[in-house]
Amino acid sequence: MSSQSLACPQCQTQLVTHRPVPADQVVRCPQCGTHFAADASATQAPARKAAASPELLVFAVALVVAFLALGGGVGAVLFFTRSQAVDRQYAAEREHLEAERAALALEREKINADKQKLELADLLHKGDDALAKKDYTAAAKLYDAALTLVPDDAAAKKGLILANTALAVDDKSAEDKAERQAKYTKLLDQGKKALADKEWADAVRAFESAVQVVPGDEAANKGLSDARAELAALQNDKAKTADYLVRMDAGRDALKAQRYPDAVREFLAALRLVPNDDAANKALLDAEKKIGDLQDRDKRKVDFDRLVVRAKASFREKRFDDALDSVQAALKLFPADKEAAALLADTRKARTDARTEYVRLLDQGTVALREGRFESAVRLFTEAKTLFPDDSAAKNGLRDAQRALDDATAFVRLRDQAATAFEAQRYAESLQFYNQALPYAPNDADVLLQLRRLRKLMERDVADAVEFDHQMEIGKAAYDRKDYTTASAAFKKAVQLARANLAAIDALRRSNYAGDMVAARSASSVKRYADAIPYYEAALQESPNDRDATTELALVRSLAKTTVAPKKDDKSTPPKTMPK
């Protein structure tokens, strides 16, 4: 058999093959791994001319096999021994490296956890500080950052709710305060303008409204007091002017009817109301001249007697001013009459004594009015007015006392209505009644205190409304993801904040029903029919006559009678009862 020799162009190794190799075939050098094409000029190895003897050939083969076996065994032993040692070394190094990496990871986690705790504590501290300083915007941002760092931190959640609630209350309070201040300023300006224009009644109304808007304000209270005083003076002047005009008209009518003594009496009364009035003085002189011109003694006597009788009657009734006017008119007819002169002296003395009593009654009435004993003040001023009906002091005192009594009655009525509404927690209604009561007693300490308490309670209502909305959102989100335990807890808090809110009550009912049905079906699915029964019954309490709950309850009751429940250590125990 002929052989062919190929030379590797890279390492010059001679490759010998006993098969012909085409010139275009690619050959790989086993020594260096180079691939190259077989060359057509490859040399042909000459065929052996003589075959070796069979004995020699067998011996050579045996020798080669023995050598290879011995060397291969030793090599294999050496190779496998070295490989196992290297593997053990590598394994040990790898375990050591993994241990170091794990230790480093734990250390890193501990450092990160400590860093997170420090950052959380710092944010909470700053948030609490901002909350204490009422910087609610900054506090909300800090608590929000804390929750971003640790989403489930209870302190951060609580702080954020407080900050947001305070922000809502502040916004509402600031808005209300701005509105009240604007309204108060407008009313105060209206009152001042009315005072300047001498429109006393308009001024009183404006200042009373201003006191309602901003209770206890000094400017509004002073303006109200001044306006009331001016209005009282105006009303008194109007009343006095009206009486004066009535007297003057009566005197002129008496002159026309030639009842000159009556005319004198009326003009004297007019001068008592408006002293030194020119018209009254002139009319009085005319009447006296007419009396002097009377020549008919009998007629003068008749008028004289009539005036004396009237004077005596007025004296007995303690209407001394009228008695004095009458007796003075009578003496114009008969100036020397001793009986009339004596009556005049007695009247003047009685009037002086009455004036003393009148002053005493005025003083007592004023004290009673100042001390709030309005009924006594009305009685005292009424007695004083009886002595001198035309005197402005008694009229004014009686008017003020009667108004104070009416105001006190109205104040007590409104205050009691406000207290009743307050007890029923109808704070808006209570606030309205207190505001209506306040103008009757602008500086009443109890009402002012109650108003402050009411505003705080109404601010709390705003805070409760904010928390109510928050709990409703939590409940709705939990209900949507079928976390009925969380949903029921949130809706329950919402109901506690607004017990009459039908939406919250219905949401709590639906959430409890859904949770009970889930628990019942879970128990039923693992053949705990007896455990499922209470859940179905609870679901029916939330939704009576519910078809699904009714049908499934009947089924599990039937199954519970014929089925043995799983052992207590069964891992498929249903969840606990939903909170109610």
Q: For the full predicted model, state whether its pTM sits above 0.85.
A: no
Nearest by Cα to 231 from 262, 207, 200, 192? 200
Check: CB of residue 184 under 8 Å from CB of residue 214: yes
CA distances from 116 to 113, 138, 150 (A): 5, 21, 8
pLDDT at 200: 78
User: Mean pLDDT for each 10-residue chunk of the chain (580 residues)?
Assistant: 71 74 74 71 44 59 61 53 67 81 82 82 85 80 84 76 65 65 86 84 83 74 80 71 84 82 82 81 80 67 84 85 85 84 88 86 90 90 84 85 87 89 83 82 79 73 74 91 92 83 88 92 90 91 90 90 61 48
- Indicate the DSSP class of residue 258: T
> Is-contact 287 251, C-beta < 8 A?
yes
CB 376 within 8 A of CB 408: no
At 171 the pLDDT is 55
Task: Provide the pLDDT for residue 51.
Answer: 46
Instruction: Provide the pLDDT for residue 81.
Output: 55
- Report the C-alpha gap between 398 and 362 in whole angstroms: 9
Locate tokens 């499922």: which residue?
532
So what's the pLDDT on residue 84? Answer: 67
Terminal-to-terminal C-alpha distance of the chain? 103
The Cα 389–Cα 386 span in angstroms is 5
- The rounded distance, in Å, linking the Cα atoms of 521 and 551 is 12
